[in-house]
Structure 1
């Protein structure tokens, strides 16, 4: 194998590259490469340090972003809690205001009851006083006649007596008739006084019924039943959303310890006389088997605690029936169709569904 050669750059002479000549070159080249390698290691170390610094900066930035997001979440959660608290306070205040209005209405009813009681007591006292005055006047009249007869001369005694009797006879008859009339009134007053609180309670219950209906349905016309015309306590004339009359409900309030089946037939007769579409009895004592309300022999019977729910359902159904009456032409007489519906099972089930929905909503609000 031939030895390697190099060309002299100056004289262009080919020189054999012996070990003695190559050693310095190799050493110089080795040192140069080691120096370059050390420089590479330094550069790589600097790059690694820069990379670590950049990673630390990214970590700090990520942590700052996480902190900002957490802070925003806390602020939004506090805002939501504040808004919901305001809504709850507003709903509570609205409910309190409604209860206050209902309490004021009941207080007005009690005030009216006290006024009626005072008027009845005053009327009784006036009648007793008038009777006493009439008795005194009659006795005074009799004494006056007797005195005039006794004081007259004996010659004219009979004439004087006759004149006195004739002159006072008419007045005596008028007084006696007045006394008899007052006696009848006093007896009637005594009878009413014996009934006492029961009648007053009935009147108060009628007023409460009218007040509740007016408060719940201000658009409708609530009329007390005129005394002596027919039975029942109040007529509710239902007015639709467009101001159109939609039907009439006859209400009767009972406050007794026992239920009477005779009330049903009596109120049906009153319903026909009043030309009402629906008849309702509000009672503290329900028939056996009835928990809160039911349709019995064509008459709705409800406890006072369910009265407004039943009234709402009946009124809503009357408005619907009034709207549907136009489509009944040519099938049967309108009156017959409406009566069959109002006293049939479909109407009853509809009313029950409306009452249940209303009661459920009211329970959730409470």
Structure 2
């Protein structure tokens, strides 16, 4: 009986020791996790000085760090949610938990930084829309994701600008201002064409009138020469313009 009691006491002591050891390990892991979180926070602040790096308070449901990505001009381009893990074993349940935290935080991207990775996993990879990375690759991944967010926002801004420009152009082309300007231009062209036609008609009348006057002058000169030839004979000097063309078919009179 005494041996049974002794064995029970030894077993109870072993269980208590294991429980204390588990609590110590949990406390140690928690401390190590908090240290990793602080290290990542400082690294993010140093690497991305334009961004807001805000730790999520201990005890508050959620991940560890929220990074608000900003351009140098201060324009917000999105949010990255960071979760740090420093444990001995990987847990697939972390993925779904961070997805829930991401949804609650309204973050664009979410990352798990873990000391241990899934089997056959190297450096970083995306698992079910959650990025998972080892500690050394965390900042490099953050830089890539941050650049992606900024580029997406800039692309959207360009597209929005194009759509706004298209709307402005369309409204202008279909509006009264454009119609009035086109009407003013056409009125000017029509007036210029009307003046040109009027000038052409006037010049044609002037040309026709002058042509008749020139014809009368030539006829009068020719008539005057004929009169003089009738008086003095053929001794008058020849005026080539008033002579018939010589085609070589006629014969001279003796």
Normalising by the residue count of structure 1, what TM-score does the alignment of the two structures yield?
0.36
| Residue in structure 2 matched with residue 311 of structure 1 by the alignment | 142
| Residue in structure 2 matched with residue 198 of structure 1 by the alignment | 29
C-alpha distance in 1, partners of 2:63/2:151?
A: 25
| Residue in structure 2 matched with residue 163 of structure 1 by the alignment | none
How many residues get paired?
Answer: 142
Task: Establish whether residue 245 from structure 1 lines up as the match of residue 76 from structure 2.
Answer: yes
Task: Establish whether residue 261 from structure 1 lines up as the match of residue 92 from structure 2.
Answer: yes
Report the CA distance between 1:279 and its aligned residue.
Answer: 0.3
| Residue in structure 1 matched with residue 169 of structure 2 by the alignment | none
| Residue in structure 2 matched with residue 323 of structure 1 by the alignment | 154
| Residue in structure 2 matched with residue 223 of structure 1 by the alignment | 54
| Residue in structure 2 matched with residue 301 of structure 1 by the alignment | 132
Report the CA distance between 1:325 and its aligned residue.
Answer: 2.1
Q: In the alignment, is the contact (CA less than 8 A) between 1:230 and 1:273 conserved in 2?
A: no
C-alpha distance in 2, partners of 1:250/1:258?
A: 22
Report the CA distance between 1:294 and its aligned residue.
Answer: 0.5
Q: CA 1:228–1:325 in structure 2 vs 1: closer, same or farther (change >3 Å)?
A: farther
C-alpha distance in 1, partners of 2:160/2:109?
A: 19
Secondary structure in 1 matching 2:112: strand
Q: How does 1:42-57 map to 2 (within 5 A)?
A: none
Secondary structure in 1 matching 2:87: coil
Structure 1, residues 206-229: CA drift from partner, whole Å, max 9, x if none?
Answer: 110101101111111100012344
Report the CA distance between 1:328 and its aligned residue.
Answer: 6.5
Report the CA distance between 1:192 and its aligned residue.
Answer: 6.5
Secondary structure in 2 matching 1:251: strand
Secondary structure in 2 matching 1:305: coil
Q: In the alignment, is the contact (CA less than 8 A) between 1:230 and 1:274 conserved in 2?
A: no
Report the CA distance between 1:256 and its aligned residue.
Answer: 1.0
| Residue in structure 2 matched with residue 50 of structure 1 by the alignment | none
Q: How does 1:90-109 map to 2 (within 5 A)?
A: none
**What are the ranges of 5 or more consecutive residues in structure 2 without an aligned counterpart?**
1-21, 164-254
C-alpha distance in 2, partners of 1:229/1:199?
A: 15
Q: CA 1:259–1:328 in structure 2 vs 1: closer, same or farther (change >3 Å)?
A: farther
Structure 1, residues 105-143: CA drift from partner, whole Å, max 9, x if none?
Answer: xxxxxxxxxxxxxxxxxxxxxxxxxxxxxxxxxxxxxxx
Which of structures 1 and 2 has the bigger CA Rg? Answer: 1
Report the CA distance between 1:195 and its aligned residue.
Answer: 2.9
C-alpha distance in 2, partners of 1:256/1:193?
A: 14
C-alpha distance in 1, partners of 2:118/2:124?
A: 10
Report the CA distance between 1:196 and its aligned residue.
Answer: 2.7
Q: Tell me which of the two structures has the higher relative contact order, counting C-alpha pairs closer than 8 angstroms and 6 or more residues apart.
A: 2
**What are the ranges of 5 or more consecutive residues in structure 1 without an aligned counterpart?**
1-190, 332-366
Q: In the alignment, is the contact (CA less than 8 A) between 1:237 and 1:249 conserved in 2?
A: yes
C-alpha distance in 2, partners of 1:262/1:282?
A: 14
C-alpha distance in 2, partners of 1:284/1:318?
A: 26
Secondary structure in 1 matching 2:137: helix
Structure 1, residues 74-116: CA drift from partner, whole Å, max 9, x if none?
Answer: xxxxxxxxxxxxxxxxxxxxxxxxxxxxxxxxxxxxxxxxxxx
C-alpha distance in 2, partners of 1:268/1:236?
A: 16
